[in-house]
A and B are shown apart, each in its own frame.
Chain A
Amino acid sequence: MPRVKIARKSTATDMTAMCDVAFLLLTFFILTSKFKTADPVPVDIPGYTHTVVLPEDNIATLTIGQGKVFFGVEGIPIRKQMLEEVGKLYNITFTPEETNTFITMPTFGMPITQLKGYLSMDPDKRKEIQQPGIPTDSARAELFNWIKQARVADVVLNQKALRITIKGDAKQEYPTIKTVIATLQRQKVNKFSLITALKAAPKP
């Protein structure tokens, strides 16, 4: 009696489809991921036990470090509108090129008088310059107006209340923080968020 031969099957699976899916997902994640923008000053954020995750849009960040204050707001239309309105307040008109440069900057810290010169600078030169931070004094009220116009722009464009966050350096002495909080409170922003790192909760 002849033996029944079982046909030997190949153990190789077709990887083509799997490969397609893997690369599709990879592309998706690369495109959707938003990379951390570099801070103008090194900021070491303090820890807190009960943090909430911030939304990605409709947000403005005040970066505080080395006694300097920087301001940044999410969304290109808001930035454009904000620059225009603040320029009007100080009688400065920005050229379309300067506006285009401004809207690509995630955060900035220049006094309004030097901003125009800074924006029209060569991109390589601009990188080398250390930004002095936005003046916080109440006489010129520059920081006050930037925040105010950003909030106004968000209401006009998105019908939303802008969420203000403060990203402070742990080593930063309190007076600067106090000035910034006072600036916010002068325009009735009593609720804001402090960006903190998550710290493990202590055992009870």
Chain B
Amino acid sequence: MAELDTSGGGKHKGGKVRSKKASTRVDLTAMVDLAFLLITFFMLTTTLAKSKAMDMVMPDKDDKTKDQLAVAESRTMTVLLGSHDKIEWYMGLPGKSAPIVDHFGKDGLRKALTENGSKVKAEHGGQPMIVLIKPSDKSTYANFVAALDELNITGIDIHAVVDIMPIEVEDLKKNGLY
């Protein structure tokens, strides 16, 4: 293969006929190729198998302390997670304004979050918006993660996952999302 025949060759005029001595060297090129291929494979697979995660912090659920911070209702936006990958959102207190049915994605929740976020900031002198996520019993885990993802993308730091209220479940039912 990669080895050239450097022996003189063709000098067998008379004299003794010698048996050709076989070289003891083995060509290792193919073996090295294979070894490096396997190394590459193992390196790539080990880094891919490492699991990735998102950190999550839940509000402290202490039944004893009742001193909870009052939040301006006009600064809060509530996102209800319904069935069929649909959401509803409204600003302020439940029941006061009609919730808007929306979907996940760029033109849905993300747009709503960005628009409401800047509106709240403008109206409250730069104070950020607070988002409450209320997953209903009919929503999936994927919806929950997707909603948190949208908050992360839009850069809304103040958010919490809260239990859904009966009045909100009723509203989801009315819109066929429960």
B-contacting residues of A (Cβ < 8 Å)?
8-13, 15-16, 18-19, 22-23, 25-26, 29-30, 32-36, 46-54, 56, 64, 165, 167-175, 177-178, 181-182, 184-186, 188, 190-199, 201-202
Q: List 25 A-B contacts (CB under 8 A).
A: A18-B32, A23-B35, A26-B35, A26-B39, A29-B42, A33-B42, A35-B49, A47-B145, A52-B52, A53-B51, A64-B141, A167-B51, A169-B141, A171-B140, A171-B142, A174-B136, A177-B144, A178-B135, A184-B58, A190-B58, A191-B58, A192-B56, A193-B54, A194-B56, A196-B52
B24 within 8 A of A: no
Within 8 A of A (CB), among B85-106: 106
Q: Which of A11, A33, A52, A199 contacts B2 (CB 8 A)?
A: A11
Task: Please state if B152 and A172 are interface contacts (CB–CB under 8 Å).
Answer: no
Task: Please state if B53 and A19 are interface contacts (CB–CB under 8 Å).
Answer: no
Task: Please state if B51 and A54 are interface contacts (CB–CB under 8 Å).
Answer: yes
Q: Which of A50, A168, A191 contacts B57 (CB 8 A)?
A: A191
Task: Please state if A46 and B46 are interface contacts (CB–CB under 8 Å).
Answer: no
The smallest C-beta distance from B28 to any residue of chain A, in angstroms, reads: 3
Chain B 4-44 interface mask (CB, 8 Å, partner A; 1/0): 10100000000000000000010111011001101100110
Q: Which of B56, B148, B149 contacts A193 (CB 8 A)?
A: B56
Task: Please state if A174 and B6 are interface contacts (CB–CB under 8 Å).
Answer: no
Chain A: interface secondary structure?
Answer: mixed
The smallest C-beta distance from A6 to any residue of chain B, in angstroms, reads: 12
Q: Which residues of chain B have C-beta atoms less than 8 A from A35's C-beta? A: 49
Number of B residues contacting the other chain (C-beta, 8 Å)? 51
Q: Which of A50, A174, A190 contacts B137 (CB 8 A)?
A: A174
Q: Which residues of chain B have C-beta atoms less than 8 A from A188's C-beta? A: 60
Q: Which residues of chain B have C-beta atoms less than 8 A from A10's C-beta? A: 3-4, 6
Q: How far is the CA of A188 from the CA of B59 in the complex (A)?
A: 10
Task: Please state if B2 and A16 are interface contacts (CB–CB under 8 Å).
Answer: no
Most buried by B among A10, A22, A181, A184: A22
Task: Please state if A185 and B61 are interface contacts (CB–CB under 8 Å).
Answer: yes
Given contacts A170-B145, A173-B141, 11 further A-B contacts (CB under 8 A): A11-B4, A12-B4, A22-B36, A29-B43, A29-B46, A50-B152, A174-B81, A174-B144, A192-B56, A194-B54, A194-B145
